Amino acid sequence: MIPKNKAVFLDRDGVLNQEIGTYVWEPEKFIILPGVPESLARLKAAGYLLIVVTNQAGIAKKLYTAADVRACHAKLQSACGGIIDALYFADAHPSVSESILRKPSSGMLEKAIARFELDAAQCWIVGDRLRDMEAGAAVGVRGILVGEEEAGFAPHVADLQAAAAVILGQ
């Protein structure tokens, strides 16, 4: 079967919600960034599946649980009208356990590509770290870096709203 679908893979902290300098696992501290619901709606309207791919090492470090992560994801889905197609998280940390899911490895993207029959050449990954870009590159997905980190990578934009404009050719 020929892959036919396209998607935008989205890192979570620093792209969809505020990066607070530590682990974000409490829903009351999970603050969705301005313009995120509108940007996701524009991408969805253009035919992109929306797939969150996030490292959650705090689970391996026993700082919080998978249920805590799911509670934050429920808040995100609620704020965005339930339009996110899948939310994947890697619960490993190199100091505790290895995982092919944890970015910069591409396991989460590979799972979604298989599940949703995605054409990697039509997909994008939006992240705030080079490890996000590396995970995308490993499977042939173009990357857009957002925020202030890792300057020098192109394309590099301010936020998800600007990334959506690049993806949509605006």
CA distances from 135 to 13, 25, 29, 111 (A): 16, 23, 27, 12
Catalytic: 159?
no
Mean pLDDT of 45-66: 94
**Does the structure show a pLDDT above 90 at 94?**
no
pTM of the model: 0.93
* Residue 41, both tokens: 């709606």
What is the predicted pLDDT for the residue at 3?
60
Percentage of the chain modeled with pLDDT above 70: 93
CA distances from 134 to 72, 109, 121, 155, 160 (A): 25, 11, 15, 14, 19
Confidence band, pLDDT 50/70/90 cuts, at residue 156: confident
DSSP string covering 126-149 = EESSHHHHHHHHHTT-EEEEESST
So where are the chain's domains? 6-167
**Does the structure show a pLDDT above 90 at 109?**
yes
CA distance 160 to 115: 25
What is the predicted pLDDT for the residue at 96?
63
Catalytic: 13?
yes
3-state helix, strand, coil in the chain (%, to 5): 35, 20, 45
6-167 has which fold? Rossmann fold (3.40.50)
The catalytically annotated residue of 11, 68, 91, 132 is: 11
The catalytically annotated residue of 13, 68, 128, 132 is: 13
Confidence band, pLDDT 50/70/90 cuts, at residue 1: low
CA distance 130 to 81: 29
